Each structure stands twice: as structure tokens, then as C-alpha cells.
Structure 1
Amino acid sequence: MALESLDRSPPPFFRVGFAPLTKLFFFSALSVLLMFGDKQLQFTKPIRAGLSTLIMPVQWLVLQPGQVASSVGDYFQNLDQAQKDLQALQLKQLQQSARAQQVEQLLIENQNLRQLLDLKNTVATPSQVAEILFDVPDPYNQRIVIDKGQTKEVVLGSPVIDAGGVIGQVTRVYPLTAEVTLLTDRDQSIPVMNSRTGARNISSGNIMSGTPLIELKFVPASADVKEGDLLTTSGIDGVYPAGLQVARISHIERRVDISFARIHATPLAELKGRHVLVLQPTGIQAASKGKAP
């Protein structure tokens, strides 16, 4: 084959059209013309509206992950804030509840102190107000500890009462505190008198039944005793002033085969407040009067 017959034109891939500079000027002018035409004639507005409508689902799908993440973040943030607010409200409620309980306790103590002051004015025996510190942790003994002792001239045998009646008797004295044995203690006895009949007896504590009571011992089965009778201090022991309320008869057992009746009484002392009244034993008062010139 002769060389002259060969096609020496470049293949289509390597063919060179317009010069690059020419293309640049052409497309630049076309762009300016289109922008000017769109500015004046608004002929691309329907196209843009159609394209915007077509790509709206795509935009919505693209935005959903971000919105979901933002919603989840807002949810946990609001949840954390709600938990903090709930904890703050619960703490505030507890504080207000504690304050309300303290106010109620103060009102009860105030009422108890007023009753003790009224009782102190009616009782001729020298007395002083004391505060109950705690109960002695002994299941077999009924005792409390008060905040008055030897420094406040509290002596052994001092009667202790509240607005309801006799609580017990001071059995141990320390410099700053004293121990009071309650009437319901099994080792505590007190002479009492039936205010209806005038009969005198000795009462002892009785906690064997589980309920703190006092019991009248060696009372004849035929004795005139009724449920509801009021027992007061007889004043013959030189310790308790006469006429202090002690208890009220609650249960009587009479049996034909036993000479004595079993009589139980419920103490009238309330022991609801924190304050009690400590009296001076009547024997000390009599001795001090006997020494007076």
C-alpha cells in the first residue's frame, strides 16, 4: 500500500475544535445574556419552580436525619431538666414538710408548756420544768431521763408529773440529769386513794400484759371498786402531794376462789410532750418548815 493513500487526519478523539479562548468568550457572553434575559423576562422562573418542586422530597429526606438528631437531643435535654426540676421540687417539698412538722411540734410543746405552767400555779408544792432527753433502752424497765439534776436541786424521790397526771418518781440523780422511773415499772409503787370511796391502796406497775398499766394489790374481792373510778395520790408517803391524778380503773377481775380482786388501772399521764414538772418531795418541805425559826 502506498504511503500517500494513508489517511493522515487525526482521529476524532484528538480533533481540536474552537480555540479555548473563543469558547470562554462565547460561554461568558451566553451566561451574561441568559442572566440579563432572566432578569428582565423571568423566563426561568417556571423552570426553577418546577425544579424546586421536584427536589422538595429530596430536600425533606436530607433534612430528616438532622431534625431527628436535634429532636432526640432536645428530648434528652428536656428530660434531664425535668428530672432536675423534679428533684428540686421534691427537696423543697421535704423541706416544707419538715418545717410543717416542726411547727406542729412547736405548737404541741407550747400547749404542753402552757398546761404545765397552769398546773404549776395550781400546785402549792415547789416545782420546776424539765425536758425529757430520752427513754432508757430497757424492755424490762419503764424509765426516762430528764435534763435537770443535782445542780438544779433535784433530789431522790422527787415526783414527776405532766398535765395529765403523775408520771413517776426520780430514782437516780446525776449532776446534770436525773432518771425517772415511771408508774408502770414493775418495781415502782405509789399509795393511791379512790376519789369516789376514799379507800386507800398501794398500786404497782404492771407491764407483763404488754400494755403499760398499774395494778391495785390486796384489794378484797368485796371492795367497793368500779370501772372508771379515779385514783389520786393519798399523800401519806411523804413524797407525793395529796390529790394528784394517777390513773383510772379500767378492768376488774373477781373470782369466787380467790379472796382478792385483780384491779388494773390506766395511767392518766399523757407523756405526749417533751416537758414535765418536777416537784419537791413533801417530806423535804415538812423538814424545811420544821427548821424555820
Structure 2
Amino acid sequence: MPPGTLDRAAPSLFRHGPSPRARLVLYGALALFLMVADARFRVTDPLRTAVATVLYPLQWLALQPVQLAGSGLGYLKTLQQTQQGLDEAERRMAQMAVQTALAEELARENAQLRELLALRARLETPAQAAQVLYDAADPYTRRVVIDQGQVAGVEPGAPVVDALGVLGQVTRVHPLLAEVTLLVDRDQAIPVLNVRTGARSVAYGDPAATQGGGLELRFTPGNADVQEGDLLTTSGLDGVYPPGLPVARVTRVERRADSTFARIWCEPLARMDGARHVMVLKPPAPELAGPPAPEPPASAQGRRPRERAGDGPGSARGARKAEGRP
């Protein structure tokens, strides 16, 4: 037999490697060892860092089409939203233009009628801007702290409003800060007017009405004309809140046969939990108060509590005393 034709490979008996079961056990033990070593000793961190560095350019190239497609879709979506917002803004501007013209006409008519009837002109309420810093630390009250105080001219009792309605009232003033008690506090009450019916009532704070607190119209007769959705504004009868400020909206009316009064819950329009910027109104002007009480005459200030009979101004003895005779 020629030498080149000899089969020099190992026989099949010696070519057999480890059995599949042995390979499974070996690889499983190796994987377990690597996981434990990586978790305890971080032995694979350098390898992982090197692999990540080498694969980063490939990953960046692979992500470019995805990012480009996402940017294009985002641009188109933003363009569509901007166009919709522009259309909505133009529509609102048109509505507000009509409302502004109507309001100006009504204001002129109101001024003419008030002048014709010789009524007192409406007083403008000065206001100053403030920012809500944080909620008060007392967990049993609903108060917030604003960044304006005595130095800025804030006075106790001043109403506080936000962009949506009445927020509360200043109850404590510090030199640089002031505490505002919200309308939903249990100790707060505000006179309100039902815009639909013109009926006046008083709304009391009810912290447990809803998650953020609400108001309740108490002592309202069961047959009163109050419906869900009615708008309540300040009536101005208390001399603290100017009339016409939006306060709340009726959300639920409960009438029971065994009770004389109806239970009416309202939701405040102002943001009791999320207000950031507010307006502090000045307290009522002195001319809003009633006329001062007349002072007693000087002769009555020194008068004795009880006069003797015959000493009155209409008696003879009283006439002699007035003339200076004994």
C-alpha cells in the first residue's frame, strides 16, 4: 500500500468528546461561576466596557434611521398641533372681540344709567400680585403662605383671588409673609349670590366634601330654586369681598323629606391645591362703611343717670337752672 494512502486520523473510539450531558453540566457550572464572579468581584466589567466601546459606532449607525423617522413624525405632529392651536386661538380671539364690544357697550349703558339715577359710582378695588410659597404646617387647617406681607402693604382680612375665582382671605400678616386661609377651611364662610336666580346665601368651608375640599350652602330651604351647575359669585354684602367675583359651582343638591333644609355641595372654582400666583385685593375703602354714629351732645354726657322730679328741661326748676338762677 502506498504510504500516502494511509489514514492517519484517530479511530472513532478516540474521537468521541464529552457527552452532551457533561457539556451541559460544564457550561452550566461555568455560567454560574461567571455570574457569581461578576456579581461579587466585577470581573467582567472591563470586558463589558471594551465590548460596549467597540459596538457603540455600530449601535449609533443602527439607531440613526429610527431617530430620523421619530424626528420626522414628531415634527409633523408638532406642526399639526401648532396649527390646531393657532386656529383655536383665532377662534377665541374672535369670540373675545365680540364679547369685548358687548361688554364695552354694556359698561357705557351702565355708566349712563347710574349717572341718570344719581347712583354712586363703582369703586375700583386695587390689587397686588403675590406668589404662593408653601402650605402652612398646621395639618388641621387649609392655609397657604404668600411672599407679600406688611412691608408690601398687605392687611389682615384682604381677599385673595387667582385666575379662576376667590381663593381665600388673609388671616395673619408678617413683615415679609402672609397666611391665607382657603375658602375650603372649616372656619371660613363667604356670602354668595346665585347668578341664575339672584338668591343670596352663605357658603361654608367643608374640607371633607371632596378630595381637595369644597363648600356647602347651609340653612337653605328645601324648596329653594338651586340646581346643579349654578354659578355662585360674591354678593358683596359682607363688605369684605367685592361683588361679582366667581366663587364656586353647585355640584350636588340633596333634598330630604325629613329635613327642612336642603344639603347643597359646591366645588370652588379657584385652584385650592395648585395655585401659584394670586392677587391680593385691598380691604374695603372707608367710604363703603356706614355713616358714623352721631355723638351725644355735650350736655347729655355729664347728665346724671337719674334726675329728680321737676328737674327736667320742660319744668320750671329746669328753666331757672338754664338761665343761671337758683
Give TM-score scaled by structure 1 length. Answer: 0.57
Change in CA separation of 1:165 and 1:285 when aligned onto 2, cut-off 3 Å: farther
- Structure 2: which amino acid aligns with 1:156? P
Unpaired runs of 5+ residues, structure 1, are 1-71, 83-121
Q: Is the contact made by 1:184 and 1:213 (CA closer than 8 Å) also made in structure 2?
A: yes
1:44-83 per-residue CA deviation (whole Å, 9 max, x = no partner) reads xxxxxxxxxxxxxxxxxxxxxxxxxxxx89734415869x
Q: Which runs of 5+ in 2 are unaligned?
A: 1-43, 55-106, 108-122, 293-326
* CA deviation after TM superposition for structure 1 residue 152, in Å: 0.7
1:75–1:177 CA distance, 2 compared to 1 (3 A): same
Instruction: Provide the residue aligned with 1:280 in structure 2.
Output: 282
Partners of 2:168 and 2:287 in 1: CA distance: 19
Partner SS for 1:151: helix
Cα 1:73–1:265 change in 2 (3 A) is closer
- The structural deviation recorded for 1:156 is 0.7
Q: How does 1:117-156 map to 2 (within 5 A)?
A: 124-156=124-156
**Equivalent of 2:47 in 37, 55, 75:** 75
Partner Cα distance (1:265, 1:162) in 2 = 18
Note if contact 1:191-1:200 (Cα within 8 Å) is conserved in structure 2. yes
Tell me the distance in 2 between the aligned counterparts of 1:73 and 1:175.
59
Q: State percent identity of aligned pairs.
A: 53
Quote the residue 2:176 is aligned against.
Answer: 176
Residues 149 and 178, structure 1, Cα contact 8 Å, conserved in 2: yes
Task: Give 1:258's aligned residue.
Answer: 259
Classify the secondary structure of the residue corresponding to 2:171. strand
| In structure 1, distance between residues paired with 2:208 and 2:139 | 11
Give the CA RMSD over aligned residues.
3.0
Q: 1:238 to 1:74 in 2, by over 3 A?
A: closer
Larger Rg: 1 or 2? 1
Count, aligned residues? 182
> Is 1:205 the counterpart of 2:205 in the alignment?
yes
Specify the SS of the correspondent of 2:242: coil
- The structure-2 alpha-carbon separation of the partners of 1:217 and 1:80, relative to structure 1 and needing over 3 Å to count, comes to same
Relative distance call for 1:74 and 1:126 in structure 2 (3 A) is closer
Separation of aligned partners in 2, 1:128 and 1:178: 13
Could you list the structure 1 runs, at least 4 aligned residues long, displaced by more than 6 angstroms after superposition. Answer: none
Instruction: Give the TM-score of the pair, scaled to structure 2.
Output: 0.51
Task: Quote the residue 2:166 is aligned against.
Answer: 166
| SS of alignment partner, residue 78 of structure 1 | helix
